Amino acid sequence: MMKFDLASHSVRELNQLLHEQARQLTEREWLVLNPGGAHSIACGIDQELSVTIDGHCGYYCAGMNKKAHVTIRGNAGVGVAENMMSGVVRVLGDASQSAGATAHGGLLVIEGNASARCGIAMKGIDIVVKGSVGHMSAFMGQAGRLVVCGDAGDALGDSLYEVRIYVRGKVRSLGADCIEKPMREEHLKELRELLARADVDADPRDFRRYGSARQLYNFKVDNAAAY
């Protein structure tokens, strides 16, 4: 295992070394020490690496991840796993706003709570939150699945497209065009697989499903005054 201490080296140096692994593959396991809340740690990885960050991190940790498995032993700041393409990012603490924003693929697991706009504009990522999420989570979500094992704040799924949302706890309010939908056997199977991938011990039958009513897809002249 390669150990990299951010107390004596810069984030830029770390990311450069991680990027070079795409060509050299000399070290597959990395341990990042003393992150100290620094921003943009482990961004832009494009290789099957295992990176463990031993502490709290700042904005956009593991952003644009591709293939790598990144574990954060602490809390994550705004935009963790932003624009992720594949791989796994696991936060052992809480996540700030916009976790998994615009992400196209992969799995993001947050073992604590996530703040506002979790999964904003998500485009294919799977997000599993063991705790609760803040307001406007999955706002304008286009594709993927959001699983919330706790509660959801106001305006859940506002203006979403085809994201499937599963919530075990209470939903404070639904956003525009978001409705509760039937939980069929196909959804129970899908949710069971997602929970297993995220190492969450929960019964899929305890969850409710939410999705788009598909009323905002097309312009309606009768509603012109509202635009």
- Which token pair is 29? 């396991």
Q: Which is nearest to 210 in space by CA: 172, 185, 186, 178?
A: 178
pLDDT in tens, 98-145: 999 999 999 999 999 999 999 999 999 999 999 999 999 999 999 999
pLDDT number for residue 69: 97
Any idea where the domains of the chain sit in the sequence? 2-226
Mean pLDDT check: name the lowest of 63-77, 140-154, 213-227: 213-227
> Where are the strands (E) in 63-217, listed by range?
69-72, 88-91, 107-110, 123-129, 143-148, 164-167, 178-181, 208-212
C-alpha span between 125 and 142 (Å, rounded): 10
pLDDT in tens, 7-37: 999 999 999 999 988 777 778 899 999 999 9
Phi (first) and psi of residue 190, to 5 degrees: -60, -45
Q: Say which CATH topology domain 2-226 has.
A: Pectate Lyase C-like (2.160.20)
pLDDT in tens, 143-188: 999 999 999 999 999 999 999 999 999 999 999 999 999 999 999 9
What HEC string does 187-200 produce?
A: HHHHHHHHHHHCCC
Residue keyed to tokens 């999420």: 133
Residue keyed to tokens 């591709």: 66
- Which token pair is 105? 């693929």
